[in-house]
Every structure is written in C-alpha cells, then in structure tokens.
Amino acid sequence: MIYILVFIISSIFSCTKLRLFLTQKKSLYIDFSLLLTILPITILAGLRNHTVGTDVDTYVIGIYERVNTYINISQVLNNHNVEIGYEIFAFLIAHVFHDVHWLHFLTTFVTGFAVYSFLKLYENEISIPLAWFSFLCLHFNETLNIVRQWLALGICLLCIGAILKKKKILSFFLALLAISFHSSAIIIFVIYAIYKFLTREYKISINRYHKYCTFLIIMTSIGAAFFRPICMMLLSFGILPLKYIHYFDLPEGISSPTMLVLSIIPFIILCLFVYKYQKWNNEQPDFIIIFTIISCILTFLSTKFGYAARIGLFFSVWRLILIGKTSFIIQKRWPKQIAFFMKIPFIALLIAYWWYSFYYRGFGDTVPYISDIFQSVNWTF
C-alpha cells in the first residue's frame, strides 16, 4: 500500500499554494508547494533497494560503481558506455555524496520537478492535483525503472517550458542536454516542429484542424511502421552503434492488443469531450488533443513494434494535461459537489491502471517495494 499512500500524500500537497516571496514585486519566490509535492516520491525512490526496477542493476548501480572508480571527468569522457550526460551526472553524484541512494533520490527529484513544472505551465487551464496524481499512477513506477529515459524526458519538459516562454537559446541547450542523457530525446525536435505547425499566428479553422489531425495520424502510423527497417539498415551500415539493436530488433510487441486498446479508449473519450467543449465555445482547437492521439497510436503500435512505446512516452505526458483539462472543464460546468463526485471515477480508473500494470502484470519489477533502510519491511503495494 506504500505506493498509493505516497501518491495520495503527494497529491494533497499539490493542492496547496505555499510560497516565500524574496522580492517586494513577488517576481522571485521559493515554491514550497512544489518541494512538498516532490519530497514524498523522492524519499520513496531514494530509499529503495536495487531490486526495485528491472534496469536498476545495469543502468544505476552498475554505472554508479564504475564511475565511482574514476578520478576525473576525462575518464568518463573516454570510457562511457551509455550517453555521456547521464554518466557525468552519475560521476558527480558518486564523488559528491558517495552513496548510490543519492543517485536514486536526485534522478527522481529532477524528473518530478520537471513534470510538476510542466503541469504548472497550464495551471490556469487544468486541475494540477488530478494531473499530478495521473502522473504518479501512470508513470511514477516507470521512472524507477527506465531512469535514463525519464531523466531525458524530464529535461525535454523543461525545454518545452522554455519554448512556451520563447527562450530559444535555453530551449536549444536543454534539448541537447536531454539527448546527452538518452538519445531517444531527439524526438523533441519532431515535437517542436509539430507544435510550431499547429500554433501558427492565424487561427486554425475546424475543417483545417480535421485535416491536420488526419495528416498527422497517417504520418505517425507510416513513420512507426517504417522506423524499424530504417534503423536496422542504419545499424547494418554502422551509422548507428550496435548497442541500440535491442531497441529495434523486437519482432513482437510488449503487450496484448486487447489490453492496450482498453488502456487508450479512456483517452480517446477525453479527447472527444475536450474537443466538443472547445467547439461549443468557439475556442481554438487544442494541439494537446493531437499529441494525445499520437501517443495513443504509438501505444497501440507497440503491440507490433516494441520500440513504439519508447517514442510514445514523449507524447504520453500530454495525456496528463488532457486529464487535468477535463477535470477543469467539469469544475467550470457543474457545481462543486457534483464536480467532486465526477472526479471519483477518474481516480478509481487511475488506481486500477496502476494495480493492473505494476502489481498484477509486474511491469518494471517495481512491486514489491523493498527499502535498504527498512530492510525488515516488504510492501507488496
């Protein structure tokens, strides 16, 4: 029960607004709500045993122990086995804190900070607590397993924040930094291209929006279908390193089509709900809907092409915004009491998804939770 309990505590803190203003104009402040929201999950991640997470032994413990033997960064530059940014990150933590648990702690802190900051960009359009709870149920256990990719994704979210604030140099730097943690983060340039295409200065008509949706859906499907053969060809010519072959040489998918279809149906329904609301209110069609649809397509294609799930992860964060936006619309249209009870099915579905994916199916081997500090305690949930 430890995971769900921590999720609830963290989500309660996300409801608060505790800020310490450092200037009279209130332009500079410390957001204690953010710190309190992230702290429970970072402690949970930091105290975990190396058995919590399939890839932890290889990409956390193994890399930490290797870089801990290095004397200076030049050794990391000359002997790195994975992306250089992550190895330098692990090297600095190993030589500053001298304990692998700090690597667990800080990777989750950076990821959590990035996701929460991303959600805060839409605080006037979404329900932050529900969107944050959605992240915890849908993705937190993933962050304990595919650590490098979620770190890269977190940096990509900070990059998106810089793009929305029109900080071009910072956004470009963050994009390169994300790629240095995991090469899959190069997809951020595709996301940026789609975003710029859909948010041009003039207003997009409904008919044109439909055409854009159709075009992007077709291109996503075609791109995913031909992605593997193209990458395998690049591997055969030596353009891509052979260490990436296990990402593409996957003849079968990661799950059954039936379960993945069932997992994306709720998001398709939410897309239709938000789209209908925007159409009724003559609002600009939302690019968030298109990103969510792309993520659903890639999720379904992962039944045939396992790597599609890796690509889809970068689009799946928009599902969090969609859930929060739906909740926000419900709050605007119905009285508080009714809106509160309408959120209960969302919470129940999120918990059910977590239970099925991480407890029943055991995705990522993050359940049971075992702590190095409290070794006598074994939390099945």
pLDDT attached to residue 59: 84
Name the helix (H) or strand (E) containing 29: strand 29-31
Burial class (CB in 10 A: 0-12, 13-18, 19+), 164: middle
What confidence tens digit (pLDDT) does each residue in 38-70 have? 999 999 999 988 888 888 888 888 899 999 999
pLDDT digit string, tens, across residues 175-204: 999 999 998 898 899 888 888 877 764 455
Cβ(333)–Cβ(108) under 8 Å? Answer: no
In the prediction, which pLDDT does 43 show? 93
pLDDT the model gives residue 223: 62
What pLDDT is attached to residue 322?
94
Contact 184, 310 (CB under 8 A): yes
CA distances in angstroms from 145 to 54, 124, 156, 250, listed in the order given: 6, 32, 18, 19
Percent of the chain with pLDDT over 70: 77
For 205-272, give the DSSP string. PHHHHHHHHHHHHHHHHHHHHHHHHHHHHHHHTTSS-GGGHHHH--SS-SS-HHHHHHHHHHHHHHHH
The pTM score is 0.87
Per cent of the chain over pLDDT 90 is 35
Q: Considering only CA atoms, which of 151, 135, 149 is closest in space to residue 93?
A: 151
Q: Cα–Cα distance between 182 and 152 in angstroms, integer?
A: 6
User: In the chain, what are the domain boundaries?
Assistant: 1-145+343-381, 202-333
| Helical segments of the chain, H only | 2-13, 32-46, 56, 63-67, 73-79, 84-97, 100-120, 128-135, 141-143, 147-164, 168-181, 188-198, 206-236, 245-248, 257-280, 287-301, 308-333, 336-354
What is the per-residue pLDDT across 135-177, written as a single tens digit (0 to 9) for each?
999 999 999 998 999 999 999 999 999 988 889 899 999 999 9
Rounded to a whole number of angstroms, the distance between the first and last alpha carbons of the chain is 4
- CA–CA gap between residue 160 and residue 151 (Å, rounded): 14
Listed residue (333, 198, 206, 195) closest to 282, CA to CA: 206
* pLDDT less than 50: residues of the chain: 201-202, 250-254
Residue 235 CA neighbour count, 13 Å, CB half:
14
Do residues 327 and 335 lie in contact, with contact meaning Cβ atoms separated by under 8 Å?
no
